[in-house]
Amino acid sequence: MTDTPEKLRCDACPVMCYIAPGQTGACDRYANEGGKIVRTDPVVLLSQTVEAGGRVVPFAARDWDGTLVPADAVVTGIGSGTTYPDYKPAPFIIASKIDGADMVTVVTEAIFSYAGVKVKIDTDRFLGPEAAVVRVEGEAIGHVTTAEYGSQMLSLGGVHHLTGGEKAEGRVTCAALLALCNGEAVEMTIDGGSRVVVQAGEAPIVDGQRERRMRVGCGSATIGMFAVQWQGLVDEVVVVDDHITGVVSEHQAGRVLGWQPTGIKIKGHRSTPGRYFRVSEPGLGWGGTRLTDPLDILGDWNPKKGARPGLTLLMVSTTGEDHGYYVLDEALRPVAQPLPATLQASVDLIAENCEPSLCTVLFMAGAGGSLRAGVAKNPVRLTRSVQVGVTRLTAGGAETYVWPGGGITFMVDVTRLPPGAFGYVPTPALVAPLEFTLPRAAYLAMGGHEDSIRSLDATMAEGGEYPIAARVLPWPAQ
C-alpha cells in the first residue's frame, strides 16, 4: 500500500496504520486531524494541589501564559506518546528541581508484548486446580497459580498468549488485560473450576455469588485466635477449612486452656494435634470445601474419651458465614439446635476479623528492549541505575515494585494509576505509562539525551512530537 494525499501513515507503533482524515488508527490513540497525526488522549499531569476532577489546558500553544498549570505539576507517561521506532529520544525529558536537587524525568508510553497481570482473588471458594487454564470467550489467557492465605492467585497474559498462539487468542488476551488494567470487570472461566468475574478493587463474583469476606485464617489459626472466647460456653468447637480444619479440644490452644477431651472423631488426615488436612475436596461450601452439611466429616463419638449425651458442639467456617450448633443425644448423635446468643457473639467476632473480599490486579512487565534507548544512548546503564535505586521508576505517577535480578521487571497496582492509563496496539500488545526520574548528573553520565532536556514551561509551550492537550489530575494515592 502506498501513501495517498488523503491518508497519513502513523509511525507510533509497529502496525504503521494509514489513517484517513478525521479517522483514528487501529489503536484509537492517534488520529489524522487537519492533515496532522495527533494524539487523541491528553497527556496527564499530576498535581498535589489541583482540585478533584482536573482540567484540560493548552499544551502545544505558543501563546500559553503558564497560569493554568500548578507549580508542582509532574508530567506522566499517560498520553505522552511512545519512543517507537525506538531510536528517538523519549517524548518528554523534563528538567526539574526536587528539594533543591537538579533532576531529570524521562516520560514515555511503553509498548509491551512481555506483559501481563497477576491477580489476587480473596476467597475460600475453589476456583480451580493449580496450573488450570483460565479462559475468556473460550480463549486461553493464563493459568491458576498458588493458593495463598485466604486468596487464590492467577497469572494472566504474557508474550506466549499475546503473540505465541492463534490470532484470536492474542486478541482476546490483549482485550482482557486492557480491561483489567483499566479497572473494568472481566468474566473468565477456569478449566475444571469456576466462573469468576474479576475487577480491580471490587469483590470477586464466583459462579454468580459475590464474595463478602476473606477468611480470618485457617481452621487452626481461627482456634488459636478465638479459643478463649468459647471457653466455658461450649464443649467442643470444629472450625471447618479446606486446608487445615481445627478441633479445639485437641488443639494446643485448647490444651493450654485446660479443655477437656470430647471423644470426637474427624474424618481426615491428622497432622498435629487438633489439625486435620483433607477433610473434604475443595469446593464452594463450608470453608472452601464441598461440604453443605459439616456433620459429614464426623465419625462415631467415643464415650471412653469423653463423649456423653448433652455434650455441645459448635461447627463454624473460617469466615463465620456458615455455622451450626449441636447437642449429642442419648445415642451420641449430634442434633441441630438454635445457636445460643452467647455463642453468636463469638461467630460475629470471627466475621468482624475478616477483611472484605477484593480482587487485586498488578500489571507486570519487562521494561527492556529498545525502549531504553529512548532514555539513554547506552541502555544497559539505565537498567543498572534502576536496579541499584539511583533511578526511580513510576507508572502513571504510581510507585512500582522492581524485581531483583536482570532487566527492569516491575509490577504496579492498577488502582494507583489515574483512570484510562493503559492502552494497546493491535500487534497485539499493551501500552503503559512509564517515568524514569534520576539526578541530572547521573542521567548525563549514563549517556542520556542531553539535547532533548527541557523545562516544564518549555515543554508546555512546545508540546511533544504530536499535537496534544494536557489534563491536570490530582496526584494519585501512594
Indicate whether 148 belongs to any domain: yes
In terms of residue numbers, what domain contains 457? 41-113+368-474
Residue 67 confidence (pLDDT): 59
Residues 250 and 276 placed together within one structural domain of the fold = yes
Phi, psi at 224, each rounded to 5°? -60, -35
Indicate whether 25 belongs to any domain: no
Cβ neighbourhood burial of 159 (10 Å; 0-12, 13-18, 19+):
middle
> How many C-beta neighbours within 10 Å does residue 241 have?
28
Q: DSSP characters for 306-352?
A: T--TT-EEEEEETTSSSEEEEEE-TTS-EEEEPPPHHHHHHHHHHHH
Residues 177 and 244 placed together within one structural domain of the fold = no
Indicate whether 139 belongs to any domain: yes
Indicate whether 376 belongs to any domain: yes
Helix axes 341-352, 219-230, angle to 10 degrees: 140
Cβ neighbourhood burial of 477 (10 Å; 0-12, 13-18, 19+):
exposed
Measured between alpha carbons, how far is 387 from 400 in angstroms, rounded to an integer?
Answer: 12
**Largest CA-CA distance found in the chain, in angstroms, rounded:** 96
Residues 228 and 175 placed together within one structural domain of the fold = no
Measured between alpha carbons, how far is 194 from 284 in angstroms, rounded to an integer?
Answer: 9
Distances (CA, A) of 286 to 177, 272, 290, 335, 355: 32, 22, 7, 19, 18
Closest CA to 77 of 436, 465, 451: 436
The last residue of one of the domains, among 352, 385, 406, is 352
Residues 208 and 225 placed together within one structural domain of the fold = no
List the alpha helices (DSSP H) in 182-318: 219-230, 252-256
Residues 166 and 227 placed together within one structural domain of the fold = no
The last residue of one of the domains, among 195, 212, 229, is 212
Residue 267 confidence (pLDDT): 96
Residues 313 and 237 placed together within one structural domain of the fold = yes
Measured between alpha carbons, how far is 352 from 26 in angstroms, rounded to an integer?
Answer: 49
DSSP type of residue 298: B
The three-point CA angle 380-382-383 to 5° equals 65
Indicate whether 131 belongs to any domain: yes
Distances (CA, A) of 390 to 58, 161, 376, 412, 474: 33, 34, 14, 19, 26
Residues 236 and 338 placed together within one structural domain of the fold = yes
- With cell 472450625, the residue in question is 239
Residues 208 and 132 placed together within one structural domain of the fold = yes
Joined together, the cell numbers standing for residue 74 give 509532574
Measured between alpha carbons, how far is 155 from 141 in angstroms, rounded to an integer?
Answer: 9
Q: Evaluate whether 181 touches 115 at the Cβ level (below 8 Å).
A: no
Residues 119 and 107 placed together within one structural domain of the fold = no
The three-point CA angle 410-412-415 to 5° equals 170
Count of residues making up the chain: 478
Indicate whether 28 belongs to any domain: no
Residues 405 and 459 placed together within one structural domain of the fold = yes
Closest CA to 338 of 351, 328, 350, 325: 325
Measured between alpha carbons, how far is 453 from 260 in angstroms, rounded to an integer?
Answer: 76
Q: Evaluate whether 127 touches 284 at the Cβ level (below 8 Å).
A: no
Q: Could you list the mean pLDDT of each consecutive 10-residue stretch along the chain, which spans 478 residues?
A: 70 88 90 87 86 72 62 88 83 88 94 96 92 98 94 97 94 98 98 97 96 93 96 97 95 96 96 95 90 97 98 97 97 97 95 96 91 91 95 96 95 95 94 96 95 89 81 76
Residues 227 and 335 placed together within one structural domain of the fold = yes
Residue 64 confidence (pLDDT): 57
Residues 376 and 414 placed together within one structural domain of the fold = yes
Measured between alpha carbons, how far is 42 from 477 in angstroms, rounded to an integer?
Answer: 21
Name residue 448's beta-bridge partners. 376
Measured between alpha carbons, how far is 353 from 179 in angstroms, rounded to an integer?
Answer: 32
List the alpha helices (DSSP H) in 326-439: 341-352, 379-387
| Total structural domains within the chain | 3
* Residue type present at position 105: T
Indicate whether 363 belongs to any domain: no
Q: Evaluate whether 48 touches 474 at the Cβ level (below 8 Å).
A: yes
Measured between alpha carbons, how far is 305 from 264 in angstroms, rounded to an integer?
Answer: 8
The last residue of one of the domains, among 169, 188, 212, is 212
Measured between alpha carbons, how far is 453 from 449 in angstroms, rounded to an integer?
Answer: 7
Residue 307 confidence (pLDDT): 98
Indicate whether 420 belongs to any domain: yes
The three-point CA angle 168-172-176 to 5° equals 175
